[in-house]
Amino acid sequence: MRWRSFVVIKSMKNSYFKTIDAGQGGAAQVVLEGDWVIDRSADIRAALKSFPEGRLEVLDASRVGRMDTWGIMQLQNLQRETGAEFILDDTQKKVFDFLAENESAPDAPEKGSALTQAVEALGRMASEGWKTAFGILSLVGEVSICFAKNIVNPRAFRFHSIVRHIEETGLRALPIIALLAVLISCVIAYQAATQLERFGATIFTVDLTVISILREMGVLVTAIMVAGRSGSAFAAEIGVMKLREEIDALKTMGFNPVEVLVLPRLIAMMITLPMLAFIADIVGLMGGGIVAILLLDIPIDQYIDRVDQVAKPMMFFVGLIKAPVFAFLITIVGAYQGMNVSGSAESVGKLTTVAVVQSIFLVIMADALFSIVFSTLRI
């Protein structure tokens, strides 16, 4: 091949390519020079504006000094646009071959049958469930150790934090708990009266309301409301602290995050939830009385008399004894999910939702176990 002319394009005293043009109808050859690195991207882009258009036969990169990933990408783009053949030294060939092998996306895994996918999904759920259970049990162990140490040294308890959490989880939750207890008891009394009226046994509406409120609904509805309100707050607060690396800062300063963040919340919750359940029981009986007086024409003194006959002390304590257990479950789950937050704010929202769902699920499971035990013991 006969070469007709030779042109050098320079920018900032650096030559990046030489164009050797063939005769009329011939193919051109470009010899690349200089350092093709991102630090000189502005100069290279300016020089490429003078790059020859049309068909090229050869792109000779063997004279390039330094080349990084950005420079390789530029050369690959030139090759795709011109269709020219590359001339590379041995080192450049290895780098280009490596990038070519890893540039393509991995093949998507083959999907199995519907049964295989269902079994795989079940296995993943079981694995995640086991991991969560193990993590929660580990957190329970850490909390127990911290509590035992503080019992030996009571001054180690963070009373200011405990009091603050009692206010947030107890006093501020009181209005919504009381309102919900009234509404639930009114619904129970109204539905019971509607059914019992057919048999002329409306007086037993009081019995049904008292038993359901004191044994089950008072503490259960309170625990569910607290799980949605305070359990989610625990997960979100601890999760945000994890994102801000405040928990790592506590460890650096020599503090135990479980003792500082989890234990005060747990103690406060185990104090406030029985109190809220007690208030829900009292207010619930008042709500049942409203329905009995207004809709069933039962005199107030007769209603109080009937409540006194039905509401035995054991029935009252059967409901309240569940409250500390529910408080323990709600706090541990919320704190555990908060400790597991990582990455971004999306993780905080996701794990806060998981904390609420898991705590409500465990509360209902625990309530079912209590019912089986009490029924076996004939309480």
Average of per-residue pLDDT across 182-186:
91
Does pLDDT of 54 surpass 70?
A: no
Decide if 124 is inside a domain.
no
Per-residue confidence (pLDDT) for residue 1, from 0 to 100: 37
**Structural domain ending residue among the three candidates 58, 86, 103:** 103
CATH code for the domain in which residue 13 is found = 3.30.750.24
The mean-pLDDT minimum among 47-61, 139-153, 188-202, 247-261 falls in 47-61
Per-residue confidence (pLDDT) for residue 110, from 0 to 100: 66
For residue 205, give its domain range.
140-376
Same domain, 294 and 156: yes
Same domain, 170 and 303: yes
Question: Which of 18-22, 46-50, 61-65, 292-296 is predicted most confidently?
Answer: 292-296
DSSP state letters, 73-139? HHHHHHHHHH-PEEE--HHHHHHHHHHHHHHSPPPPPPP--HHHHHHHHHHHHHHHHHHHHHHHHHH
Per-residue confidence (pLDDT) for residue 20, from 0 to 100: 58
Per-residue confidence (pLDDT) for residue 60, from 0 to 100: 72
Average of per-residue pLDDT across 85-98:
72
Percent of the chain scored above 70 by pLDDT?
Answer: 85
Beta-bridge partner residues of 22 = 3
Sheet holding 56-60, edge to edge: 3-11, 14-22, 28-32, 56-60, 85-87
Q: How confident is the model at residue 103 (pLDDT cuts 50, 70, 90)?
A: low
pLDDT tens readout for residues 297-344:
888 888 888 888 888 888 888 889 999 999 999 999 999 999 988 877
Decide if 26 is inside a domain.
yes
277 and 367 Cβ atoms separated by less than 8 Å: no
Q: How confident is the model at residue 194 (pLDDT cuts 50, 70, 90)?
A: confident
Same domain, 213 and 336: yes
Residue with the bigger pLDDT between 45 and 136: it is: 136
Residue with the bigger pLDDT between 350 and 109: it is: 350
CA neighbor of 264 nearest in space, from 359, 139, 137, 147:
147
Same domain, 308 and 192: yes
Check the CA dihedral 130-135-139-145 and report its sign. Answer: positive
Phi, psi of 9 (to 5 degrees): -100, 125
Q: How confident is the model at residue 101 (pLDDT cuts 50, 70, 90)?
A: low
When computed from its CA atoms, the radius of gyration of the chain, rounded to whole angstroms, is: 37
Same domain, 243 and 336: yes
On average, the pLDDT of the chain sits at 82
Average of per-residue pLDDT across 260-274:
93
Decide if 113 is inside a domain.
no
Does pLDDT of 32 surpass 90?
A: no
Q: How many domains does the chain have?
A: 2
Which positions ≥6 away from 328 have C-beta within 8 Å? 266, 269, 270
Does pLDDT of 14 surpass 50?
A: no
Phi, psi of 6 (to 5 degrees): -140, 120
CA neighbor of 212 nearest in space, from 176, 178, 177, 188:
188
Same domain, 60 and 179: no
What amino acid occupies position 312? K
Q: How confident is the model at residue 75 (pLDDT cuts 50, 70, 90)?
A: confident
* ∠ Cα 62 65 68 (to 5°): 100
Q: How confident is the model at residue 7 (pLDDT cuts 50, 70, 90)?
A: very low
Decide if 132 is inside a domain.
no
Question: Which of 59-63, 187-191, 219-223 is predicted most confidently?
Answer: 219-223
**Structural domain ending residue among the three candidates 82, 103, 124:** 103
Query: Rounded to whole angstroms, how far apart are CA atoms 318 and 315?
Result: 5
Per-residue confidence (pLDDT) for residue 13, from 0 to 100: 39
Same domain, 259 and 161: yes
Average of per-residue pLDDT across 44-48:
71
Query: Rounded to whole angstroms, how far apart are CA atoms 147 and 122?
Result: 37
Average of per-residue pLDDT across 143-171:
90
> How many angstroms separate the Cα of 254 from the Cα of each of 182, 243, 247, 340?
47, 19, 11, 20
Q: How confident is the model at residue 5 (pLDDT cuts 50, 70, 90)?
A: very low
Does pLDDT of 268 surpass 50?
A: yes
